[in-house]
Amino acid sequence: MKIATWNVNSIKARLPTVLEVLKTIDCDVVCLQEIKCETDAFPYLEIEELGYNCAVHGQKTYNGVALLSKHQLEDVVKGLPDNEGDDQARYIEALVMCEHPIRVGGLYLPNGNPAPGDKYDYKLKWMDCLLSHATELLKQEDAFVLAGDYNVIPRDEDCWDPAVWRDDALALPSTRAAFQKLKWLGLTEAYEAADGRAHEYTFWDYQGGAWQKGHGIRIDHLLLSPQAADRLEKVEIFKKAREMEKPSDHVPIIAELTD
């Protein structure tokens, strides 16, 4: 089965592009971030036509996440548990009822710039909350995937120029340390495990011809529980999405697991 994550940067502004990409990558499960619409405004009909069930945690103007699945979705959770006071729609989770059911959490981790500051504090608090939730999920000893826009550049070789990103909230040592903590819990970063090549990216800024110059960063990730990691076959970054009409600044990253 194939699980994808993709920050679409507004689903209303580029619905034809989104539908085209979804048809092409043909995944079982897709986690979408930055849908930038309220739950009721989600284009359910168009996406259901592609064979997907939709669970949506929307928000006006900013953020907003959705889970699309060709299998039944059960036990939908909106918002990161025990993150009281967080009014931003950044997390959605459900149990995907395929042959071997798998729990999937879709997340849009805060950017955190400028750092230091309130926004960076919010990012680190959010990461700590995600760590707690992952700890709880691991106790169940079942297959699960936490996929999304982590806004984390894990290694220097995951960006085109480390000097440019050194003091950025996406690459600061505290950010990388918080991401590393998730891995130390026992989660496997799918790209690193299945491929791991340097200078492969999932985001290119719209500005300054970043795509044409190859000035990207790898910030969209899938973290797998041990039971899911055992099933990992390959990972693909769907770069073609960045060449389409009205592209998102992110492209999908897809993990393929055995059924």
Partner DNA sequence: ATGGCAACCAATGGTTGA
Q: Which of 108, 120, 150, 201 is catalytic?
A: 108
- In the annotation, is 149 catalytic? yes
User: Within 56-75, which residues bind DNA (CB under 7 A)?
Assistant: 60-62
Count of H helices and E strands in the chain? 8, 14
**Cα(7)–Cα(250) distance, integer angstroms:** 6
The verdict on 113 binding DNA (CB under 7 A) reads yes
β partners of residue 66:
32, 56
- 120 tagged catalytic: no
Strand intervals (E) in the chain: 2-7, 29-33, 53-57, 65-69, 73-78, 91-96, 102-108, 144-149, 188-189, 203-204, 216-217, 220-224, 232-237, 253-257
Nearer to DNA, 64 or 95 (CB): 64
CB of 80 to DNA, least distance (A): 16
**Tokens 């989600």 found at:** 42
Stretch that binds DNA, among 11-19, 48-56, 96-104, 174-182 (CB under 7 A): 11-19
CB closer to DNA out of 34 and 256? 34
| Choices 19-27, 45-53, 110-118, 222-230 (CB under 7 A): range interacting with DNA | 110-118
Q: Decide if 4 contacts 30 (C-beta within 8 A).
A: yes
170 binds DNA (CB under 7 A): yes
Residue tagged 């006006």 (tokens): 60
Indicate whether 184 belongs to the interface with DNA (CB under 7 A). Answer: no
- Judge whether 108 counts as a catalytic residue: yes
Q: Amino acid identity, residue 198?
A: A
> Which parts of 32-51 interact with DNA (CB under 7 A)?
34, 36
166: phi then psi, degrees, rounded to nearest 5: -55, -45
Active site residues: 108, 149, 250
- Residues of the shown chain interacting with DNA in the complex, contacts defined by CB under 7 A: 7, 9-10, 12-14, 34, 36, 60-62, 110-111, 113, 119, 149, 151, 170, 203, 205-208, 217, 219, 246, 249
